[in-house]
Amino acid sequence: MRSLALYILAFLCVATPNIEGNHLCFSSSDSDADSYKSFIQQLRQYFPINTSILYDIPILKHSLPPSQRFLTINLDNPYGEDIFVAVDVLTLRPVGYRSNDTSYVFFDAPRVAFETVFPSTCRVLLGFNSDFKSIENAAATSRLDTLLGLAPFEAAVSDLFHYRRDSVPTSFLVIIQMILEATKFKFIEQSVVNSLKNGEPFKPTLAILSLQDNWAKLSLQIQASSSLQGLFGEPIELYDSNHRTIQVDSIYYPIIIPNMALQLYQCNIGTNFIRMPSVGGDPCYVQTRTARISGLEGFCVEAQNKGWSDGNPVILSPCGEQLTQRWSFQSDGRIGYSGNCLSFNLSSYVVTYNCSEGAAGSIRWKVSVEGMISNPDSDLVLTANASRRSAMLTAEPNAKTLGQS
């Protein structure tokens, strides 16, 4: 039996300043797939109002006045039971919920929430925090074993409405994932939509959990990548739909831009000044990143003959761990290998050339969101005309072919 010490009950009947106008509703009575998608879209439009956008992904605000910081979401089921869940607009973390005249607040709720959220209610301070690890510990279960879908959602609303104490943590595992995590990630939203369409509940996969657990890290690396043409300062390990681990090290993975709907604020992407180097390094400003340049059919860009001499050809080779496939992407647009820079000659063949002696215009490259590498001065694009070993790369006009992305 779960210990009563798990919950700290602090009943406070107080009058506090109210949240005005920050309110959305969702009813499971008409929760077909379309109405659910419409509700998630409302949330996505509400949270990032007047915020920055990077790679077409809105970034949450990093500060707000107390009256605007929290959103209350009214959730109900067909049995006439409804609750109000309060969400921190800055972090998309739940603060607590209200049922009738009693509110239940997470142990780690921001102090300002006690001054603003659920005024004139008797408050119960829950004995666990709002992060998944703490909720899973309190529930004595994991997200992998938690059913999501229409029936689990309606049961969660009922359990919270009646404050069935032992079910509160599990109920939040359902609501947080189906509402807040689905707002962050389109992949999670689609998983819920599929469940609503086929009428079958489902359990989250490793792919879903890896997205949930890495939202803050993904947001940081995406925002930091703006200083390095979309490359991450360090890779993030995620799971794909086949339960295989993948190392995501740039915005060019399909799991990033088409999937993420919101970013947690991590970096001031609008900063327009020269940064002085710091001892610990600034995770928001990545100056260099070494990575492979991969193409079609398992081939990677390689410096032939170790690339030490000027004019050395750049070719395709099967992707591996060889050092000749490790290219350093610089924040000034250079792509280097062993002290030389990626360039091209008068015959349009891509070569390596001494960085200090090569023409500045021919050693600067720009990486597009689609993964195309182009030279801004000439508008020529890194091109592989054949997917075979030792095929030489060329710089050609953009024809939008597969060999150019």
Active-site positions? 181
Contact 330, 286 (CB under 8 A): no
What residues are paired with 373 via a beta bridge? 367
Residues 6 or more apart whose Cβ sits within 8 Å of residue 363: 334, 341, 342, 343, 353, 355
User: Rounded to whole angstroms, how far apart are CA atoms 24 and 183?
Assistant: 14
Among residues 380, 383, 311, 316, the alpha carbon closest in space to that of 345 is found at 311
Contacts of 152 by beta carbon, 8 Å cutoff, 6+ apart: 146, 174, 201
**Which amino acid belongs to residue 106?**
F
Instruction: Report helix, strand or coil for 107.
Output: coil
CB burial class (10 A; 0-12, 13-18, 19+) of residue 120?
Answer: exposed
Q: Are strands 70-76 and 102-105 parallel, antiparallel or unpaired?
A: unpaired
Q: What angle do CA 90, 95, 99 make, to 5 degrees?
A: 140
The Cα–Cα gap between 212 and 247 comes to 16
Q: Residue 325 — φ and ψ, nearest 5°?
A: -105, 10
Full 3-state SS string of 24-88: EEEEHHHCCHHHHHHHHHHHHHHCCCCCCEECCEEECCCCCCHHHHEEEEEEECCCCCEEEEEEE
Tokens of 90: 């800055």
Distance CA 283, CA 267 (A): 9
Residue 161 to residue 155: CA distance in whole angstroms: 10
- The label of the residue with tokens 């609008």 reads 270
Tell me the CA distances in angstroms from 273 to 158, 269, 276, 285, one per residue in order.
Answer: 53, 11, 10, 12
CA distance 65 to 229: 34
Query: DSSP E strands: which ranges in 324-400?
Result: 327-330, 335-337, 340-344, 350-354, 366-367, 373-375, 380-383, 394-397
